[in-house]
Structure 1
Amino acid sequence: MMTPTSKAKNNRLRSRNRLIGTALAGCSVFALNACSSGGDENSKAASTPSSTQSSVAPSNTADPDAAAKQKVLETYDLMWTEQMKAYRKADEKGTGLQKYATLDALGQTRNDLARMREAGTVVRGDVKHSKTEVESIDLSAKTPKASLKDCMDISGWQTYNTKTKQVQPMPTNQKTRYWATAKAERWDGQWLITSLTPHGDDEC
């Protein structure tokens, strides 16, 4: 007979299998060009593993949640690193995205990758992050959760069309620095990014 504890664990595992992406309220972080211009530039942004690292301030030892916040930031950085690997080749295979994000968070990314393959585009350049911080964290909740804020700089990335062998220009009205917010939850001791939302009109 299944105990309440084992039932709860199975429910959580089913939830995790149902989830795993970068749910971005209709437009992915890298699809902002497409949202503003209507072109094939649905998936943009890139970064070498080193350039995806956020500018994280040293842990504040006076903050009792400092260690947990650092873990959240590490997960966020790792998620970005693996996501950029996928955008560079328009393919999630061979990346560790599922280790750091839920299905909900990965859904838009996977849609972007499919459109990229259809359009024959990949990403070059990089995306930079600064002022990244955990704005709130609740470790007492049944499922611990946190909220993050990040200033993204997409001025260094390019969308390259492998069919025409040309770089696709960025729309002239595209802001290159804007805020993004993210949510994270801790499942079975592992922090996972559950959503990532760009705020393309909110310059940072």
Structure 2
Amino acid sequence: MTARQVRPRTRALALCGAVGLLLALTGCGGSSDDTKPPTASSTAPPAAPSASASASPADPDAVVKAVVLEVYSAMWVEQMKAYRVASPDGTKLDDFATLDALSAFERDLATMKKNNTRVTGGVGHEPEVTALDLEAKIPTATVEDCIDLSKWKAERTSGEVIPLPTAQPLRYVAAATVERWDEDRWMVTEYKPDGSRSC
């Protein structure tokens, strides 16, 4: 395993950049209401079957794409568990995310804990594999997801509801890089929301 493939296991977290999920957190300035936890789907994001949207039956890479989407969806499930309690403890988040993606989620969680916030709602997903390079030294896939915040909810541990900023788009595109490190093991290594792209 190369140095790039060493999985960071630090559990020091913060949540100011919605880096993984919620653009609303990017500011983190102004009032404390700007520090809203990003969120994953409230129950479970569409598991790999929504992979079918990105791979037709005739697609020779259909199986690989389905596995990539399964890992991406599993990351969201574990991330949601962590964001509901502002802690990665008891989750398997680092089984599916690492490097920049995991570090970003950990920063989010640390900030949530510091500000006594948690996620109580969820987000919708429409992920698809838009690029796949199986010939690279480290096989890589790109997943694009339409993030839907219409059911997103967050609150302080006191019960105070935290509304979304008025400028927060309710539907936007996010992109994730997913890499295969072992024969059958894919990991989400990067996650970037793009509020300028609606969906």
What is the match of residue 88 of structure 1? 84
| Aligned-pair Cα RMSD in Å | 2.4
Render the CA deviation track for 1:29-62: whole Å, top value 9, x for unaligned. 3442233473442422242333454733264232
Q: How does 1:52-131 map to 2 (within 5 A)?
A: 53=47, 55-57=50-52, 59-130=55-126
Instruction: Structure 1 unaligned segments of length 5 or more: list them.
Output: 1-8
* DSSP 3-state at the match of 2:136: coil
Q: CA deviation at 1:66?
A: 1.1
Q: How many residues align?
A: 189
Distance in structure 2 (CA, Å) of the matches to 1:194 and 1:78: 14
- Structure exhibiting the larger radius of gyration computed from Cα positions: 1
Deviations 1:151-184 (A, max 9, x none): 0001211111113x21011111211100001111
CA distance in 2 between partners of 1:160 and 1:154 (Å):
15
1:16 aligns with 2:6: yes
Q: Answer 1 or 2: which has greater strand percent.
A: 1
* Aligned residue among 134, 139, 143 for 1:148: 143
Residue 162 of structure 1 is matched in structure 2 by: 157
Which of 153, 165, 185 is the aligned partner of 2:179?
Answer: 185
- Counterparts of 2:117 and 2:46 in 1: how far apart (Å)? 20
Check the 8 A contact 1:18/1:103 in 2, yes or no.
yes
Structure 2 distance, partners of 1:60, 1:19, is: 36
Give the direction of change, closer, same or farther, for the CA distance of 1:196–1:159 in structure 2 (3 Å limit): same
Task: Classify 1:30/1:145 alpha carbon distance in 2 versus 1 (closer, same or farther; 3 Å).
Answer: closer
Q: Is the 8 A contact 1:53 1:129 kept in 2?
A: no
1:197 aligns with 2:187: no
The C-alpha deviation readout for 1:90-130, integer Å capped at 9, x for no partner, is 00011111111113211111111111111111101111002
Letter in 1 for 2:7: N
Q: TM-score if structure 1 supplies the norm length?
A: 0.83
Distance in 1 between residues matched to 2:133 and 2:164, nearest whole Å: 39
Measure how far apart 1:18 and its partner are.
Answer: 4.4
Per the normalisation by structure 2, the TM-score is 0.84
Contact 1:45–1:125 at 8 Å: present in 2 too? yes
Aligned equivalents of 2:10, 2:195: Cα separation in 1: 24
Q: Paired residue for 2:168?
A: 174
In structure 2, the gaps of 5 or more residues are 12-16
CA–CA distance in structure 2, aligned partners of residues 72 and 20 of structure 1 = 24
